[in-house]
Amino acid sequence: MSSVIVVVGPGLIGQAIARRVGVNKHVLLADLRQGNADAAAETLGNAGYDVSVAAVDISDRQAVHALVEQATGLGEVTGLIHAAGVSPSQAPPDAVLRVDLYGTALVLEEFGEVVASGGSGVVISSKSGHRLPALTQEQNEALAAAPVAELLTLPFLQPDQVQDSLHAYQLAKRGNSLRVMAEAVRWGRRGARLNTISPGIVITPLAKDELNGPRGEGYRRMIQSSPVGRAGTPDEVGAVGALLMGPDGGFITGSDILMDGGVTAAYWYGEVPEVRS
């Protein structure tokens, strides 16, 4: 039986991880836009990977379930790379929460029902989740463990409480790391592991949208003022993803790896200008 790696959101970061963990496995590339999945499949296929594609709306349970069925029809699901999402400059608050928070929780729940023993997953979150002020314990528990169908009805996620896309994004990304921690317990019962990576500014088309958007100047200041002094690359995230999904990361689960060149450290304790992102 084939070993299947599912990549939800096969952009540059998703592909970078897949290149490292997808050798001698079947890689299923899923995206909201079929054209994006096809382009990723052409790139990886030309590099010798065994690939297939799917279109999926991660905020639609039936669509996610259909993706799970497609994956299990190809073989044993041993890996999940979840890199799908929208940025604050790309969507209004309700869409950010629906895709980045609810959609991620839905994907983890559905694939948590089928992931094979010895399997692993990684969710690409964001440094933004580390910049949100502390939530209450009740809010943390709700983001981590509320039934997926009830997530978007939580009182502190309603339009009168979340009035801009950046706040929605921060909540969603904090929710991702909390959700992964809770889901890691459930995945562990199947002998599988699950972790989060929270990258900083990594040069991808999404990052370029932010750099050229209304918060672009602030993003450039963050890069210049960070301890590392530069943006990251998808391959650097790919290396961390490979560690988390591979045998060398076998003792790591339920964790969130912040890799942002020290931007968050400087935000809290250094001299990064006050840019809330």
Cβ–Cβ under 8 Å, residues 10 and 56: no
173 flagged as catalytic: yes
Neighbouring C-alpha atoms within 13 Å toward the C-beta of 257: 21
Catalytic residue among 49, 169, 219, 267: 169
The string over 140-158, giving b where at least 16 C-beta atoms fall within 10 Å of a residue's C-beta and e elsewhere, is eebbbebebeebbebeebe
The DSSP secondary-structure symbol of 272 reads -
Sign of the torsion angle spanned by Cα atoms 137, 139, 141, 144? negative
Bridge partners (DSSP) listed for residue 196: 123, 256
Catalytic member of 173, 208, 267, 269: 173
Active site residue 25: no
The pair of structure tokens assigned to 60 is 């639609």
Give the whole-angstrom CA distance, residue 141 versus residue 121.
Answer: 22
Give CB contacts under 8 A, 24+ apart, made by 158-164.
159/93, 159/94, 162/93, 162/97, 163/93, 164/88, 164/93
Residue that the structure tokens 């409480």 belong to: 161
Report the C-alpha gap between 160 and 94 in whole angstroms: 11
Tell me whether residue 196 is exposed, middle or buried, using C-beta atoms within 10 angstroms of its C-beta: 0 to 12, 13 to 18, 19 or more. Answer: buried
Residues taking part in catalysis: 169, 173
